[in-house]
Copies of this chain bind each other. A is one copy, B any other.
Amino acid sequence: MFNEIKSLNEECGIFGIYNSENASQLTYLGLHNLQHRGQEGAGIVSSDGRQLYQHRDRGLLSEAFADPNDLKKLIGDSAIGHVRYSTTGRNSIQNVQPFLYHFLDGDVALAHNGNLVNARSLRNRLEKHGAIFQSDSDTEILIHLIRNHIKDGFIPALKKSLNEVHGGFAFLLLQKDRMIAALDPNGIRPLCIGRLTNGAYVVASETCALDIVQAEFVRDVQPGELIIFDQEGMHIDHFTTQTQLAVCSMEYIYFARPDSIIHGVTVHNARKRMGKLLAQEQPADVDIVIGVPNSSLSAASGYAEELGLPYEMGLVKNQYVARTFIEPTKELRENAVKLKLSAVRGVVQGKKIAVVDDSIVRGTTSKQICRMLKKAGAKEIHLRIASPPFRFPCFYGIDISTRTELIAAHHSVEEMQKILGVDSLRFLSVESLIKAIDIPDAGESPYGGLTVAYFNGQYPTKLDDYEQGYLASLNEQ
């Protein structure tokens, strides 16, 4: 969890609540526990049954809502919120969600986690027919599609529109008198429903956001579902029945908080099992095992436990954020990870070490960490990655949409071991990854109900606008 160190970023977290007092305050809390999913912008839109109220700004939740009045102004019993990591769109306030649209026939707010693979072609078509976009975000396309079908009524228009967009998406919509959640046909992004003791329904990207508002877990939103919350309660509907579960495996490996439960699987437990299976597949002859904080600690402790080795704190994370303009020395510029991580000399000196990390993307961070450990006196470094080599881009919301930057796309494990300067480098197999996660309700879905395309190139959807570039990139290497 916590994407500060990795060069791997998720786009967002979403949270909504319908028909509860303190709706916007509870939404703030929910977003607080989803903050690891996006730190570049935050917003909330509330409804008091008559109109919608919006506040959003750049930065962390605590920065975007720095003034107590920001929240107080968001009156009403329903609210949706969003935390954002900026990927394609520029980091301007115009791209911070939830978006709020004023129509003469009523306001609509919209929050989105995911990425659409046919955004560009849809936007092209829409602009040709006079549509005007206010943001760079693909999220805005949905509202334009809805408006194009609006004469059918809002829900039918929404269903039609959801069938026109492709990719991985979890949408939350708020109107003055109802809240709507929708999930793509593969359920690539996680989305769950909870309930407060006062009867109010809550929707969130992860269960850890239910916990902080003391909501009880009800169920995961299923692929293709459209769930409507209104004065009469919760209505489960769907916009398509052509579905097949393919949850993003990176949620388990890296993004989600360890305390979250996705499709029945506690993230920490899945990670610990990844560590154990990695130990079985790729043991190491070392004195101690250490993890890269914070996302790899679960896997590292599993690895140590399986091999009966001491699990030590060989790296310490500085929880405070340093200003990036502070880089006086060449060494530091080349090793910016130093501002975030420190090696514990008294632990690693003179030791043969298994370093467990959750994944390798560009390799830059891993290289810096290993150099740091060597400098602190480590005798040998055996890098163990608790996931398979990350070789193919993600088009569903992770900030890796080309192969160019992926070290594993262009290098063999042997080459990578040399580049990173470690004594050995080993990865978890795709099979063990699937086995470690083990989604109970995966049914007949391939790959145990997971998207493992990053490792094997087998995408659960068509790639649309990305297809050509992707195919070209496969040949380029």
Contact = CB atoms under 8 A, between A and B. Distances in A.
A214 B305 contact: no
Given A208-B316, A261-B345, A326-B71, A101 B132 contact: yes
A8 interface: no
A266 interface: yes
A130 interface: yes
Nearest to A209: B342
Interface in A120-171: 123-124, 127, 129-134, 136, 143-144, 147-148, 150
Contact of A130 (B130, B321, B327): B130
A28 interface: yes
A130 B132 contact: no
Given A103-B127, A259-B344, A325 B214 contact: no
B129 A338 contact: no
Interface in A17-66: 21-22, 25-26, 28-29, 32-33, 35-36, 60-62, 65-66
A440 interface: no
Given A102-B133, A259-B343, A261-B345, A32 B312 contact: no
Contact of A212 (B101, B144, B342): B342
B35 A320 contact: yes
- Give chain A's interface secondary structure class: mixed
A130 B150 contact: yes
A257 interface: yes
A323 B130 contact: no
A430 interface: no
A32 B322 contact: yes
A208 B26 CA distance: 38
Given A62-B323, A305-B311, A328-B22, A316 B258 contact: yes
Nearest to A214: B331
A65 to B, nearest CB: 7
Interface string A322-347: 11011111011000001100111111
A298 interface: yes
Contacts of A258: 313, 316, 344
Residue of A68, A144, A346 contacting most chain B CB atoms (<10 Å):
A346
Contacts of A36: 319-320
A316 B257 contact: yes
B104 A132 contact: no
B132 A147 contact: yes
A318 interface: yes
28 contacts: A4-B319, A21-B328, A22-B329, A25-B327, A25-B328, A32-B326, A33-B318, A35-B320, A61-B320, A62-B320, A66-B323, A68-B323, A68-B325, A71-B326, A101-B133, A103-B132, A104-B127, A211-B343, A257-B316, A261-B345, A266-B346, A268-B313, A268-B344, A269-B346, A269-B347, A294-B319, A297-B313, A298-B313
Given A29-B332, A35-B320, A294-B319, 8 more contacts: A25-B326, A25-B328, A32-B339, A130-B147, A131-B132, A268-B344, A301-B301, A301-B311
The 8 closest A-B pairs by CB, nearest first: A266-B346, A22-B328, A25-B328, A259-B344, A134-B134, A35-B320, A130-B147, A259-B316
